[in-house]
Chains A and B, each alone.
Chain A
Amino acid sequence: MSSGCEVIVVGGGLAGLMATIVACENNLRVKLFTLLPAKRSHSVCAQGGINASVNTKGEGDSPEIHFYETVYGGDFLANQPPVKAMCENAPNIVYLLDRMGVMFNRTPEGFLDFRRFGGTQYHRTAFAGATTGQQILYALDEQVRRFESSGLVKKYTGWEFLRAVIDDDNICRGIVAGNIHTQEIEYFKADAVVIATGGLGMIFGKSTNSVICTGSAQSILYKQGVKYANGEFIQVHPTAIAGGDKLRLISESVRGEGGRIWTYKDGKPWYFLEEKYPKYGNLVPRDIASREIFNVCVNMGLGIDGKNQVYLDVTHIDRQTLEYKLGGVLEIYEKFMGEDPYTKPMKVFPAVHYTMGGLWVDYNQMTNIPGLFAAGECEYQYHGANRLGANSLLSCIHGGMVVGKKIPEYLKGLDKSCADIGENLFEREKKSVLSKFERYKSLKGKENPYHLHKELGELMTENVTVIRYNDKLKMTIEKIKELKERFNKIDILDNSDFGNQTLFYVNQLANMLDLALVITKGALLRNESRGSHYKPEFPQRDDENFLKTTIAIYDEKNDEPVISYEEVDTSLIKPVTRKYD
């Protein structure tokens, strides 16, 4: 059971591309589905770098320390064996990227250079200026183009995932997808499907994510019976800049290279992170930095110019160093804020950035549906309750590699190929998508879908980010349910049958509403504080009751998630209190 097998990969970011490359190396043919050309995937936005403990600075760093700090930084919520495997594989990954020609910064001797990042004291982060994600994405895209050239990869650019095809034995046999330009909806058979669809920042309206990061695919799968894990763990990045269309990230690498956070107190500069956390200073993990900035601005009213913003200052660093190591990100600040960050401190505030939670997968990256795999930000496996900076590019690539290696093993044990399955199943699944889209097209109510989305984003940002209160979470759940009701009264706005973006957007909106419910209900039921999830009413971590993975399963009858908990594998490192002062 291997010749003639087709693999479908959904998503053209780092995880999807890496899965594609390794599958091709195993002589599997891959159909790659992406919304945009892979080069434009959200991985392009990652700025700061990728972690790997290769110890080129003589500091005594090692993969074991990287493993410990990742588990510790994640407040012990991650299952430990896969995290260990990832950290051990990290040096190989960075060397591989180096071999692929990624233009990493170099030391004067020509070796890879490494910088500091949050949650560690070591120089562990390889980087390409401040556009590392872009550089790595391009390298993987180029390798995939090589396989496209040799006929192993067929690209479906501009196709959106709309449904998994799961047979009566509960095995994944393919997908239904729609062409966002021609609006054709079709099914595609496969013996293994990889979901690598990234994050879900759009649920919060404005975030640091690209507009394509809606979490739509994950939500569809959750509603088809795939388990969704740790949904409530949403990372809020401490330093972003405000905009009417999005919140733009100012990389943690700015602090890694010496940038300082401050505001005025009693008329004098106050470096509150350095004061409170002398050991890590500005490089405390993101959840902690975000809460401190939030506290200084919202509770103490000490934001710059009376607004919710603090300074991120690099003006003490020489221009040449800044240009070489941080040019890309400082350029973003300058272009969008119209101020020179080389001479004036930047004004920043926390913004929704990353989801630690995602589709539940086993150590082989397979979901609870055989044949359906997931890798990258859309799954939950590597970051526990808080992700350390520069571990996301790593987890995407590592996850993609694992998938690519595990698929051949899975295929060996498969007794029937998708080619042996009758057309009926596929026709049935396609029909269910078609009828859903027909229903959207017939919606002629008074509600504007774009306004509904804005309301959802504001609701989630206000109540389900840095500080969480149970009464507000309950209210949020009620409001989301109201939005779901109002969704049925929307106006589709566009009746055209070519390039109708509203039609696909409305489908994404429906999916965002369902996933918002998963996130909020998970947050409501977790009565403790751990990593990014912080409740003033329950300020301590509660290992006895909540050292557990949250599992959301869709209950069709009540149209909402049922939450249960799974044990966390802490067999390698004993949980201790997490402190950075």
Chain B
Amino acid sequence: MNKIDQKSSFMSRLTETVNNLLMRNETVLVLITIGLSVIIGSINSKFFTIGTIYEILLATVVWGIIGIGVGIVMISGGVDLSSTTIAIFSAYSATKIMLAINPDAPLILLFLIAIVIGGLLGLVNGLFISLFNIPVFFATLATATIYKALMLEYIGNIYITPAQMPQAALDFSRTYVLGGLHVSVLLMFALLILSYIILRYTIVGRGVYALGGAPESAARIGYKLNRLKLSIYIYSGMMYAIGGVVYVCNSRLADPYDLMDSRLTVIAAVVLGGFSLTGGKGSVWGVLLGALLSTIIRNNLILIGISSDWANFVFGLIFIAAVVLQAFNTARTKRRTA
């Protein structure tokens, strides 16, 4: 009797665990990604080669890195519309600065200059948002426009050709490890792990979640909200800058008009990765998965004869499914605690 009870309680716990796992965005994403890969792979066997996987990872890198910043802002409860503008601003300016002072300087200089610029632009975002307490969406919509104008007016509006690019950047774009994996993929993973550690194991990192969950309560337990917000926007600005430099290096040219229109693409990938527009939720692994899945849909459906227009259609459908799942989950928790 007792044994049966134990067994049935074990079974019910098991189903509960499985259910909870199934309801987690990460799990669903992995399943969708695997399912989609199996479909593509069964029609076109070329898909399952190590080469294709490396290619997908390379195509994901920029969105993954910028996505970290967008994701962190989203956890704290905001939607950052200036991400790709800061990315191209920092990368283009850094390239021009480096060309002006020493075109043969090592790559690290390019990254450092960009990171400083990205951090500063992030700081400006943060100042607007914390001092005037305006919604992130509007603040960054405004700053994105301002940054774009400033860049085109004062830094330059002519693109830097491959021939003009710093040698270190060109070398970077041709550096492969592990039999064909682009080095920037490793950089992305390093940044993901760094951000994971910060979000999970530091007080500031937990504060990002606290801020997104209940700002007033965060202040009541002793968080200094303005300082916390500034850290968030500076860090995100730095991530955008790194993403921008990787983008510029890998495409071997720096076009000031590039990338800016992709800000919604990044937001979509992050939301796909299980982030909530109302804040408080999400992990860097969600960013990676969301970016991977959107890359596969956009770049690889062509392998099975689906045109890029239809690929966008599929992306739209999956995006809606992700948002519906989120809404459904919220409703479910609400029902459970009512």
User: Do the two chains belong together in a single complex?
Assistant: no
- B residues contacting A by CB (< 8 A) are none
Binding site for B on A (CB under 8 A): none
